[in-house]
Every structure is written in structure tokens, then in C-alpha cells.
Structure 1
């Protein structure tokens, strides 16, 4: 009986060793190509475009300073649709200077203002230059008439700021699109001005500060 027991124990031990060898072999994997390894998901492509990749024009362009004292704006998209912006509450501003300049691809008109608050505007092409209040039609050089209404305006007696007293209308021979600029009067809280253009060309409008300015740029598509 003891011999039989020893044979059974030896057989059991042999079977156990064989089982352990099989387990170790199985854990080793044998072939690395069957093991995908740790899963490291690659970052998914974002469906939201990077805003810096297609940044449009800003309201405060950066760049060199031009002869007219305003910043040089980058190339810009534009159209011929009306452009509007609201003034700040209680704005009381007077146009103190008007400047016109030629730049690469566009002409710039700058209306400098003094007083308090932030100006608004409505700029659009109109069939003819008609003065607010009187209804008189004004002769203006150019085939296009761009009306500029600067809201948040006040009379010099109200703002305490002396109004523009330079050439009016203002003409600059070197410009491509802007023929002349005529500054009108203040009526019902807005200063009216007209920009005579060579044709009905795309334009854009934005404001600058220190000093306060409303800038109108008329694009020249012939360059």
C-alpha cells in the first residue's frame, strides 16, 4: 500500500509540474505579434476650427502709424452693404478733424472726435447727397455717394469741443477711390458727412481710441 501511495504522489507531482509549465508558457504569449500592447488612443481631430487660423479683421488694427495719425490696418474683407454700430449711452462728441489718405489697396477717411463717450455710425451708399434737415441736394464728386452718419454727436456748445474748421469739402489728389469728403452739420444727435467715391466700391468702418476716431476705408479692387 505504501508503494502504491508513493506512485500516486509521484504521478500527481508530475502532473502538477506539467500544468505549471503549461500555465507559464501560456502567460509568456509565445508570439508578440498577437499582443496589441497597451491601448493608447490617438487624439481625435477637433471639429471646431482654430479661430487664430482664420482671424478676420479686428476693430483695432495694429501696424505702423500712417501720416494721418491712425494705425495701418491689415488687408480686409468688405462689401457694399450698410455698416452700423451703436454709440455708448450719453455720448457727446464733436468732429474736430477730417483726414484722407491713400494706402495699399484702399483709401482711408478718418473722422477724429473730441468729447465724451464712444461714437456709433451708420455708413451706406445713397443715390445722392441730401442734407439732413434742409433736404438740399449737395453736389459731390464721384460716381458713388457714401453717407456717413456719426451718432452720439453733440453741438460744440454742448460738448465744449471746437468743431472742424479745415477745408470743406476736402480733396486729396493722390487717392484712388475717394474723390472728396464733405462734412455736414449735426442733426438730431448725428453728424452727417458724405464721401464721394470713384465707383460703388466695397468699404468697411471701425473705431479707434486715443484719440477717438471713426475710420472709413474704401477698397480699391483695381490693384
Structure 2
């Protein structure tokens, strides 16, 4: 009986861990077009560290279908709309633009925020939503970072892994 419960627990926990835990190797830029138009709302942004890489998780409410994104190195980070320069800690700035996000529904993350980094991520600078796009700058220690971008469900999350 205990062996059967252990097997069930491993299967259930394994199904919950949908994100890839290998070190990212994909070069930038990475892009995917949105399958939705301004339906998702950002409910949380968090940073974590793993063996060989660090992870930024964007959690969403509402919406359905794939989020769009563009993840690229940005040598001159600027705010959407104003065009003013943005100072971001780290050796390299990785810009993350997420499409399919509603400004009106994004409560708690409607204003600019800086989130402390961990591991190889110096900081995450959330710049808000402008014309259906959430703008984020991730300052990293790596010069030419490899990344992995995945959308996960239950709840909807966009995961950006950055190799150290």
C-alpha cells in the first residue's frame, strides 16, 4: 500500500512540475505571437534560482490561449510611450515584452515595480502595460545569456529561464 501511494505521489508531483529544469541553451531573441487580444492580467511576478539558471515567473489571471512574447537583449532600455531611458542593474538587460495583457485588468501590477533578483539575475524592472503589452527588463550577470521561455497552465504562467 505504501509503495502504491509513493508511486501515486511521484506521478502527481511530477505532473505539477511542468517547467523544464535543465539549463537553458537557446539564444536570444525568442518570439511567439499572441493567440489572444488583451485578455490576461498579471497577478504576480517572482524570481527563483535553480542549478545553473535563474527563473522569472509571470503569473496571470483571466484569458485563454497562448500569450505572445518577445525576449531579447536590449542595449538601450527605454519606457514605452515616453521613450525615457530605464536604468537596470546587471551586465546585460534582457527585455521581455508580453502581449495579450490588459492594462485595465492588471491590478497590483499596474504601476512600475523593481523586484530584487537572485543568483545571476540582478533585478527585474516591471514597467507596466502599454497598448496591450507588458514591458519588463531583466538585468542579468551573463554577457550573452541563453534562455528558455515556456507558458505553463494551472494557473497560467510565462516562465523565462536565464542560464548563469
Contact 2:102 2:129 in 1 (8 A): yes
One of 135, 141, 153 as aligned partner of 2:101: 153
Higher helix share: 1
Match of 1:171 in 2: 116
Higher strand share: 2
Gaps of 5+ in 1: 1-61
- The structure whose Rg is larger is 1
Contact 2:112 2:127 in 1 (8 A): no
Counterpart check, 1:143 vs 2:91: yes
- 1:2-31: CA deviations, max 9, x gaps? xxxxxxxxxxxxxxxxxxxxxxxxxxxxxx
> Residues 143 and 169 of structure 1: is their aligned pair in 2 closer, same or farther, counting only changes over 3 Å?
same
- 1:159-178: CA deviations, max 9, x gaps? 3x523379921113xx3211
Superposition pairs for residues 1-223 of structure 1, below 5 Å? 63=14, 71-117=18-64, 118-156=66-104, 159=105, 161-164=106-109, 168-172=113-117, 175-200=118-143, 201-220=145-164
CA shift, 1:106, in A, is: 0.4
Contact 1:80 1:125 in 2 (8 A): no
The number of aligned residues is 150
> Residues 77 and 198 of structure 1: is their aligned pair in 2 closer, same or farther, counting only changes over 3 Å?
closer
CA shift, 1:185, in A, is: 1.5
CA shift, 1:179, in A, is: 0.5
Whole-angstrom distance in 2 between the partners of 1:198 and 1:114:
31
Contact 1:206 1:216 in 2 (8 A): yes
Q: TM-score, normalised by structure 2?
A: 0.81
> Residues 203 and 90 of structure 1: is their aligned pair in 2 closer, same or farther, counting only changes over 3 Å?
same
Gaps of 5+ in 2: 1-12
